[in-house]
Amino acid sequence: SIVITDVTGEIIRVNPSFTRLTGYTAEEVTGKTPRVLRSGRHDDEFYRKMWAAIRTEGYWRGEVWNRSKDGRIFPQRLTINSVKDDSGHNTHYVGSGQDLTEEKRADADRASIEIARQIQQSLFPDAAPVLSGFDIAGAVRPAERVGGDCFDYLRLRRASVGFVVADVSGHGMGPALLMAQSQASLRALAESHHDPGEILTRANRLSQ
């Protein structure tokens, strides 16, 4: 989106992308200042530094949170350039912005997936138990970066080992947290109960 103001900061022209992004038509904002878009998320010091940079460097580039006509607050990558005449005097300011809503959402999704992946990795045992007469190993290779899969070993009585293989429907943070909770319940129950049927029955009751 593009906004052009005169040297006093009053809007004299906007492009169609500005209207699509903010909901304001050219007629609604002409003669007003870009303050109409302020979201309230930035203090006066933020804008003071912005305009200090424009006066000294001739431009400012950064991210801002603006508010559309319908009240939606959205992130925007914004560049403001000062336009000078042949004498070097400011005549106009041009602001060009890009909506970052989808980019921020994608960043949040990636962060959520990474946290879920770390949770999932923490569920897997560091080493397989040693049991005479058996070679024991386990591995998980998810089709995507993260899933709700888990395997574990539970020490039971009489030198027995319980093997846990589990899967939660879906992917991402929710399934990973659910699996972490289920695994913690199984491990706690295995400390005081040794019959697999009883452990699973009690775990099912805890999850209801």
CA 180 to chain centre: 21
Provide the pLDDT confidence category of residue 147 given band limits of 50, 70 and 90: low
Q: 10 Å Cβ neighbour count for 148?
A: 23
Other C-beta atoms lying within 10 Å of the C-beta of residue 29: 22
pLDDT tens-digit map of 6-50: 999 999 999 999 999 999 999 999 999 999 999 999 999 999 999
The 3-class secondary structure across the chain, one letter per residue, is CEEEEECCCCEEEECHHHHHHHCCCHHHHCCCCHHHHECCCCCHHHHHHHHHHHHHHCEEEEEEEEECCCCCEEEEEEEEEEEECCCCCEEEEEEEEEECHHHHHHHHHHHHHHHHHHHHHHHCCCCCCCCCCCCCCCCCCCCCCCCCEEEEEEECCCCCEEEEEEECCCCCHHHHHHHHHHHHHHHHHHHHCCCHHHHHHHHHHHHC
- Residue 143's pLDDT is 67
- Rounded Cα gap, residues 158 and 140, in angstroms: 28
126 pLDDT band (50/70/90 cuts)? confident
Q: What is the pLDDT of residues 75-104, one digit of tens each?
A: 999 999 999 998 989 999 999 999 999 998
* pTM listed for this prediction: 0.58
> Which stretch of 15-24, 65-74, 108-117 has the lowest confidence by average pLDDT?
108-117
Length of the chain: 208
**What mean pLDDT comes out for the span 128-142?**
85
